[in-house]
Chains A and B, each alone.
Chain A
């Protein structure tokens, strides 16, 4: 009973929050509702006995990724409304067809995976975090290390890309000087 109520409550909240993210024209509203949706998503992980994944969702997504987006939005004029118009209706038509095909494939695919054998069985007596740790550091050690290197490279790359020409402050330059700077780039 508790699970059913929690599932439907959080499903409604998540869908509403993500719809706000997709449909709003204000970048700030989109960011806030996306962060709220991420928090609600973590509730599903706790319902599914994946406590470690739920904690990771809160810490990494809502903590780190959203903070990074909020930091990035300081560079753009986030208060102005986003103006968009789509000129090519044929593309929208094609992509809607692709979405329909994708939904059909997703709903048909459980028939293929009917008799699946558990490759890495869950040990209920261990608890989720210990179970995840054992599997992560035995079976998935090499992907774990590769992910660590990938994160390091991404961090260095992000700093280099964003930090380029940080020593010139655009707010203290006049319009003409900014134009000259743009031509130099």
Chain B
């Protein structure tokens, strides 16, 4: 397989995630879509790492995994707090956060 095949797959997965971010109004589904986007980027980085014979791509993928894990911990905590407060995790319920 060539590098382009992996990059095209990575772009496809990234666009699925981006489409989910646009379409979804439920905050939990929005989180799922961001996970898809992060995974798509990881595939692209690993492919570039292999085809250039360079380990930097894999290192960046590790740090992306670490950032994704901490994002889930904080985001889910905030989401639970918001759900306890308002009883919904709809994105529109955050409209009054506007200044």
User: Which residues from chain A sit less than 8 Å from chain B, CB to CB?
Assistant: 3-4, 7, 11, 14-15, 18-19, 21-22, 27, 30-31, 34, 37-38, 41, 44-45, 47-50, 52-53, 56-57, 60-61, 64-65, 68-69, 72-73, 75-76, 82, 84-86, 91-92, 95-96, 99, 102-103, 106-107, 110, 116, 118-122, 131-132, 135-136, 139-140, 143, 147, 150-151, 153-155, 157-162, 164-165, 182, 185
Contact = CB atoms under 8 A, between A and B. Distances in A.
Given A18-B16, A49-B50, A143-B63, A34 B24 contact: no
13 contacts: A18-B16, A21-B20, A22-B17, A34-B32, A38-B39, A41-B42, A41-B43, A52-B58, A53-B61, A68-B72, A120-B56, A143-B63, A182-B85
A47 B50 CA distance: 10
Contacts of A159: 77
Given A22-B20, A154-B70, A162 B80 contact: yes
B55 to A, nearest CB: 4
Contacts of B69: 60, 64-65, 151, 154
Q: Is the interface of A mostly helix, strand, loop or mixed?
A: helix
Q: Is the interface of B mostly helix, strand, loop or mixed?
A: helix
A22 B16 contact: yes
